[in-house]
Structure 1
Amino acid sequence: MAINIKSFVRAGGLFPSGFNGITLLIQRSAEQFLNVALPFSIINFVLNAIPATICFFKIGKKFTIYSALSIVLTSILTDLLPSMPITYDVLLICIFGGLINGFAIGLCLKGRATSGGTDFIAIFLSERMNIDAWNYILIGNAGVLVIAGLLFGWDKALYSIIFQFTSTQVVHLLNVRYQKATLFIVSKDSEEIFDKIKVTHHGATMFSGTGLYKDQPRNIIYSVVAQDQVKKIVQETRAVDPEAFINVLKTEQVWGNFYRPPHD
């Protein structure tokens, strides 16, 4: 992420989403309007201090420590690494810089950590208060871009939207931990199939029905699971009943008792 900032983000004068974008906005504003060179690391540490402390006690110690390590390394390396622009074509920077940024964030999430900042806030609100915070974070990012547009020109702010969009798509592709899927499984072996679902710590609801094509009794299993568990459940279901009919739907929101694996 630090290399991406030094090679793409600063060359294009862009503002990423989250606390990194706020840090760059503060740093650039201080340099241009106050003629003061503020270290990236100091600003980023101050912004992340309170969210990291809350997550340490409320979400998980190991999760927060790994995330803090990511923040520290990114911040220090951003200050230490020399500027290394690869291109000054802003559109190329938006696309390839966004891809690298999204990959870096996705890598953190795969390692059960985050890149810090607004991710701390979103995870805390989602897991502890059952609030979907991503829309609020989107509004916050929009506010940062409005300020950046007023101070440094709307072209950089608009290009930053492309950068952030590209980054977000990569993150969604790589990270399925917080994505959910609904399973509808039609089978005669419902009890055995539920045993496979139960291993994932998720429940299910069973409906009795009739397969109208063959006019035979069938049970319908309804369950909501994590997206990264779908492949395994489908494979095990097919092993139990090769003729099972399985419908997988993307789930936007769930209210109720849905199991989330602990971060630590």
Structure 2
Amino acid sequence: MDDLQRVMQRHQYTAKASTAFLYSICVSIAMNFFWQPGNIYASGMNGFAQLLSTLSGRFFSFTLSIPILLFLLNLPLFILAWRQISHRFTIFTFIAVSFASVMMKLIPITQVTFDPIICAIFGGVVNGFGTGLALKNGISTGGLDIISLVLQKRTGKSVGTINITCNLFIIIAAGFVFGWPYAFYSALGIFVNGKVMDMVYTRQQKMQVMIVTDKPRKVIDNIQERMRRGITIVHDAEGAYHHDEKTILFTVISRYEMHNLQVAMRASDPKAFVSISDSVKILGHFYEPSM
């Protein structure tokens, strides 16, 4: 059993490292193919690194490297993640940021298009996908992702929404440095980035589940075997067609757990009626697995 656990853990670590490498390719393509050539500021620490690099080139005789700035700016946030999130999360965040810094240096800046709107949208899509995929697999890309996750735990707001809010400073900076049209382009890119992140990072999206079943004990056991979720039981319900006795179960899951729910229902009661709806806001405790 211990050998099996070690193999599974090794597989998880390999998957996380592979995801970190995939993210580094996505952010490097977004930065060097779209954002930098289009004078579009990215979100978070990527955008802040761009800003410092631009200002150093304008006011000094040298231009600071964006990849190096990205790594240095993340150093204090590694400490925050180590204390507030988890040690394993921080280690893989460090790997992701290191990969990103190296890949940004290796992949050359390439002018794909001269249209700043295309640069803003496609840069946001590519980076949002890579960032959301990293978060979904339990690692962070550093920067505002760490701040957003800490705030998301305390406020319940989505990671994408917090990310957009924190990036107002980047948008204003883009207006002063490149002109106000580019501030709007940067805002468009940051908005697209945040929305794609929310689409991919499904762990934070809550869904309310109502199950009508005549096998409540079996359904509850199967769900709780696969997910750590509380379930409310309503006894003595009656079906209107056959007037047979039913039990109604209520629970809240994340969209990330949808597959586990489907497996549990197939194993326990394939004929149960299951209604699933998006849950806008949760009051009270909702268990979030540690990263």
TM-score normalised per structure 2? 0.82
Q: Does 2:266 align with 1:241?
A: no
Mean Cα deviation higher: 187-196 or 41-50: 41-50
Q: Which residue of 2 aligns with 1:43?
A: 69
Q: Is the 8 A contact 2:120 2:188 kept in 1?
A: yes
Mean Cα deviation higher: 79-88 or 45-54: 79-88
Q: Is the 8 A contact 2:136 2:202 kept in 1?
A: no
Q: Which residue of 2 aligns with 1:206?
A: 233
User: What SS is found at the alignment partner of 2:63?
Assistant: coil
Q: Is the 8 A contact 2:53 2:63 kept in 1?
A: yes
Q: Which residue of 2 aligns with 1:70?
A: 96
Which of residues 16, 33, 38 in structure 2 aligns to 1:7? 33
Q: Which residue of 1 aligns with 2:184?
A: 158
The superposition leaves residues 104-126 of structure 1 with CA deviations (integer Å, 9 ceiling, x where unpaired) of 21332243211111110111233
User: What SS is found at the alignment partner of 2:36?
Assistant: helix
The superposition leaves residues 18-76 of structure 1 with CA deviations (integer Å, 9 ceiling, x where unpaired) of 11111111211221244431121342233222221021133111211111111122223
User: What SS is found at the alignment partner of 1:259?
Assistant: coil
Which of residues 249, 259, 262 in structure 1 aligns to 2:287? 259
CA distance in structure 1 between the aligned counterparts of 2:124 and 2:152, rounded to whole angstroms = 25
Which of residues 110, 126, 131 in structure 2 aligns to 1:105? 131
Q: Which residue of 2 aligns with 1:95?
A: 121
TM-score normalised per structure 1? 0.89
Paired AA for residue 231 in structure 2: A
Q: Is the 8 A contact 2:164 2:190 kept in 1?
A: no
Alpha-carbon distance, 1:181 to partner: 1.3
Assess, with a 3 A threshold, how the Cα gap between structure 1 residues 178 and 32 changes in structure 2: closer, same or farther. Answer: same
Q: Is the 8 A contact 2:216 2:249 kept in 1?
A: yes
Structure 2 unaligned segments of length 5 or more: list them: 1-26
Assess, with a 3 A threshold, how the Cα gap between structure 1 residues 165 and 126 changes in structure 2: closer, same or farther. Answer: closer
Alpha-carbon distance, 1:225 to partner: 1.3
Q: Is the 8 A contact 2:164 2:191 kept in 1?
A: no
Structure 1 unaligned segments of length 5 or more: list them: none
Q: Does 2:245 align with 1:217?
A: yes
User: What SS is found at the alignment partner of 2:93?
Assistant: helix
Paired AA for residue 214 in structure 1: H
RMSD: 2.1
Assess, with a 3 A threshold, how the Cα gap between structure 1 residues 201 and 133 changes in structure 2: closer, same or farther. Answer: closer
Q: Is the 8 A contact 1:197 1:203 kept in 2?
A: no
Q: Is the 8 A contact 2:45 2:70 kept in 1?
A: yes
Q: Percent of pairs identical after alignment?
A: 28
Paired AA for residue 89 in structure 1: D
Q: Which residue of 2 aligns with 1:53?
A: 79
Q: Does 2:127 align with 1:114?
A: no
User: What SS is found at the alignment partner of 2:286?
Assistant: coil
User: What SS is found at the alignment partner of 2:242?
Assistant: coil
Paired AA for residue 217 in structure 1: E
The structure in which a higher percent of residues are helix is 2
Assess, with a 3 A threshold, how the Cα gap between structure 1 residues 120 and 76 changes in structure 2: closer, same or farther. Answer: same
Assess, with a 3 A threshold, how the Cα gap between structure 1 residues 81 and 117 changes in structure 2: closer, same or farther. Answer: same
Alpha-carbon distance, 1:260 to partner: 1.8
Alpha-carbon distance, 1:215 to partner: 2.4
CA distance in structure 2 between the aligned counterparts of 1:144 and 1:92, rounded to whole angstroms = 19
User: What SS is found at the alignment partner of 1:25?
Assistant: helix
Assess, with a 3 A threshold, how the Cα gap between structure 1 residues 25 and 174 changes in structure 2: closer, same or farther. Answer: same
